[in-house]
A and B are shown apart, each in its own frame.
Chain A
Amino acid sequence: MGLNKSDMTLLIVVAILALGAPFILNPFPVDSGMAQFNAGYPDLMQRFVIFGILAIGFNILFGLTGYLSFGHAAFLGVGSYAAVWMFKLLSYNVLPAIALSVVVAGLFSVLIGYVSLRRSGIYFSILTLAFAQMSFALAYSVLSNPKFNLTNGETGLQVYAGDPQIFHREGLPDVPHLFGIAMRDNFLELKMGGWEFTFNNGYYLCAIIMLVVFYLAIRLFRSPFGLMLRAVKSNQNRLNYTGLNPKPYTLAAFIISGMYAGLAGGLLASMDPLAGAERMQWTASGEIVLMTILGGAGTLIGPVLGAGFIKYFENIFSKINDNVLHQWFAFMPDGMEDFMVFIVHPFVGKGWHLTLGILFMLVVTFLPGGLVEGGQRIANLFRNRGKKKGDDDSYKPDPEHHPKETPHVAE
């Protein structure tokens, strides 16, 4: 596979996690009070890996080169639109749709990257933000006017009965499918005791694609190209005087990460054939940035963890309502129960944003390297427990992550 031992281990661990997700994410019996925290249903699992792909791609740009794009959601949106258009024009087969979404997002990122990369630092961030916001605004309104309806605006682009779908045949499912295998179907539902596990076609397609692109990302990280990207982040001046042109390197990184985003967009549309303009809004771009930093920018696995973390909160915590809280605390005396519900209430359900905000602050304050650093600390804790005291110098910072003391004034 061309990987060294630790990378191979990482890939295998990720593969086990991804392929075993239906088990791992459903640790609680269906009827237990904790079932609320189960995340092993198809839609959320799909989102975990799709946003994982998005974050892996974003990390190639941001984590390696340090260029902070604040408009990455535009590529996600463009990818989704491209995919749905393929559904509308050709057929519900996801393969051409995903392929086109990658290509279109790639082309779009050539355009935006070429212009934006003429500036660096926050000027670059604002340029990407401006392009993405323009794309969003146009997709939401102007590009959905009845005369030239490219995006279907607020409603979102979807397949209508009147669409050509020239390769659609009898017998093929009327939903996104891969040569007849419908994405939304489950190939297996397992009931074991109180537990239930769902194995979904679409999820496994996403998971396999995620593993492939994760593997490619590892190769890229370890390649000379990846090294050059890290050199761009470290010292562009030296790179220039070493005879290397940073421009094509950063542009290539930008395009690759744009294509990752397009792929994620295409997959999103393949799992659920509707593309809305909100996907391109700055808040969506901001979410990608947050995922990456939260997980640990510049590390391989961090962005995937960050993506999972945020999506978990969005989908699981937002669904906890007072009714559920009362069930949890039902074992307590009445007054105590109401008190506990009162205490927890602001942080769940409609308050899930609050919890997320607090966690952002806690993680970044106490774990400068993101969730990955948290993981390392725990790992070190276990490792050190086995050893004698005084062995602490075995702690080695992750070679990939070194928070840079950013000089405020460069040059």
Chain B
Amino acid sequence: MDAFFLQILNGLDKGSAYALIALGLTLIFGTLGVVNFAHGALFMLGAFCAVTLQRLLSLSFETIDETKTDFLGNPLKVKTPYVEGWFGPEIGGSIIDWAVPLSILIAIPFMIGVGYVMERGLIKHFYKRPHADQILVTFGLAIVLQEVIKYFFGANPIQTPPPDALLGVVNIGAPLGLELAYPIWRMVYFLFAVGIIGGVFSFLQFTTFGMVVRAGMADRETVGLLGIDIDRRFTFMFGLAAGVAGLAGVMYGPINPPNYHMGMDFLVLSFVVVVVGGMGSLPGAVLAGFMLGILESFASTTWATTTIPGINQIIIYLVAIIVLLTRPRGLMGRKGVMED
């Protein structure tokens, strides 16, 4: 029983990342009709916001410790971060410790900016072009972003640990009398994802801006005819989607250390998620994200892999095939979107 609930939790956690990326992808499909193959790269950029901040905070000055030697036998240079020098090791240390949550503050404006520049500078020239061209240009952009990150940060994964206070596990099953020790940060990630998803939905649901955007998603021309500058709003939506992907990336760092190709690892999966959810459907994307996350977790159990060898490797694709063959437009897809 405990194992069962643990896998549910794992599934929700994986699902959080899928859902967040898929949400952004769907926003872009829905509003702009653009297939964005660079979306995974945006997720990766977000994670590297955290890495960058961590690096910046750990910028150090060197003092020479004569008592110790380095690998070449020279006196050891001891590095002390400037923040520790300025604020003392206590406060300075805890600032560095909280680098990941702090980097959210940087990531939001940065990612929205990246999204804005991307849309204005590149994507907007591709609205009227075939989807194939959109794929090519965004894929090219993804490669470029990835290689730039690799150039500065290398190919190895880089640890971005959570703050010490959020390290470790907590038994969340205690009230139910279950033994459910689960990492705190993973809980944080799940709650964070739920918060973001809720935020995006209520933004679209309850603000006039959101209503116009939703109307535009349903029928762009008509809204345009009403004299509303829908393009500006869509640009903002692109920024928002980039922001969501970026935040998903920032917070993902402590779960698995970021590397430059993490975006590509998620890209294909999140496309599958979006399509299983149904093109153009935001709730569909979120639902499919969590559903596939949970299914993937259960397929990884020994029970599943001994029953059907290799099921853990193909489950997502298998489910995608079954869903698409039984529900032609995914779980909640709209008719006619991206079917041509």
Contact = CB atoms under 8 A, between A and B. Distances in A.
Given A142-B310, A290-B139, A119 B328 contact: yes
Interface string A273-298: 00000000011001001100110010
B314 A406 contact: no
Interface string B129-148: 11111011101111110111
Nearest to A357: B143
A120 B125 CA distance: 26
A121 B147 contact: no
B131 A406 contact: yes
B147 A142 contact: no
Interface residues of B, number: 51
Contact of A133 (B139, B146, B317, B330): B317
Nearest to A138: B310
B135 A289 contact: yes
A375 to B, nearest CB: 18
Given A357-B144, A368-B133, A346 B340 contact: no
B317 to A, nearest CB: 4
B314 A357 contact: no
A338 B272 CA distance: 47
Given A123-B329, A360-B139, A353 B268 contact: no
Given A115-B325, A410-B339, A364 B140 contact: yes
A353 B143 contact: yes
B131 A68 contact: yes
A293 B140 CA distance: 12
A406 B135 CA distance: 14
Main secondary structure on B side of the interface with A: helix
A195 B139 CA distance: 38
B310 A137 contact: yes
A190 interface: no
B337 interface: yes
Nearest to A235: B340
A407 B337 CA distance: 9
Q: Is the interface of A mostly helix, strand, loop or mixed?
A: helix
Nearest to A71: B317
A127 interface: yes
A368 B141 CA distance: 16
Contacts of A126: 271-272, 275-276, 320, 324
Nearest to A126: B275
Contacts of A76: none
B125 A365 contact: yes
B324 A123 contact: yes
A138 B133 contact: no
A217 B298 CA distance: 47
A115 B317 CA distance: 14
A353 B136 CA distance: 14
B309 interface: yes
Nearest to A122: B338
B147 A351 contact: yes
Contact of B314 (A137, A290, A404, A407): A137
Contact of B313 (A120, A138, A289): A138
B41 to A, nearest CB: 10
A123 B330 contact: yes
B272 A141 contact: no
B211 interface: no
Contacts of A408: 33, 220, 337-338
Contact of A360 (B137, B309, B328): B137
Contacts of A131: 317, 321
B321 A115 contact: yes
Nearest to A292: B132
B318 interface: yes
A410 B340 contact: yes
B340 A138 contact: no
B268 A289 contact: no
A120 B143 CA distance: 28
A268 interface: no
Interface in B292-340: 309-310, 313-314, 316-318, 320-321, 324-325, 328-330, 335-340
Interface string A337-373: 0000000001000010110111111011100100000
A131 to B, nearest CB: 7
Contacts of A142: 309-310, 313
Contacts of B337: 408-409
Contacts of A56: none
Given A297-B132, A407-B340, A129 B272 contact: yes
Contacts of A283: 264
A354 B148 contact: yes
A405 B144 contact: no
A403 interface: yes
A411 interface: yes
A313 to B, nearest CB: 11
A118 interface: yes
B128 interface: yes
A137 B317 CA distance: 10
Interface string A379-407: 00000000000000000000000011111
A137 B147 CA distance: 26
Interface in A104-152: 115, 118-123, 126-127, 129-131, 133-134, 137-138, 141-142, 145
Most buried by B among A361, A363, A368, A409: A409
A141 B132 contact: no
A294 B140 CA distance: 11
B144 A120 contact: no
A365 B140 CA distance: 11
B314 A134 contact: yes
A360 B136 contact: yes
Interface in A295-335: 297
A297 B142 CA distance: 21
Contacts of A68: 131-132
Contacts of B329: 123
A400 to B, nearest CB: 14
A406 B321 contact: no
B279 interface: yes
Among all A-B residue pairs, the 9 with the closest Cβ atoms: A360-B140, A357-B143, A142-B310, A130-B317, A137-B313, A408-B33, A121-B339, A354-B147, A361-B140
18 contacts: A62-B132, A68-B131, A122-B279, A123-B339, A126-B320, A127-B324, A130-B321, A133-B268, A137-B310, A138-B313, A289-B135, A293-B136, A353-B143, A357-B143, A361-B141, A364-B133, A364-B137, A406-B131
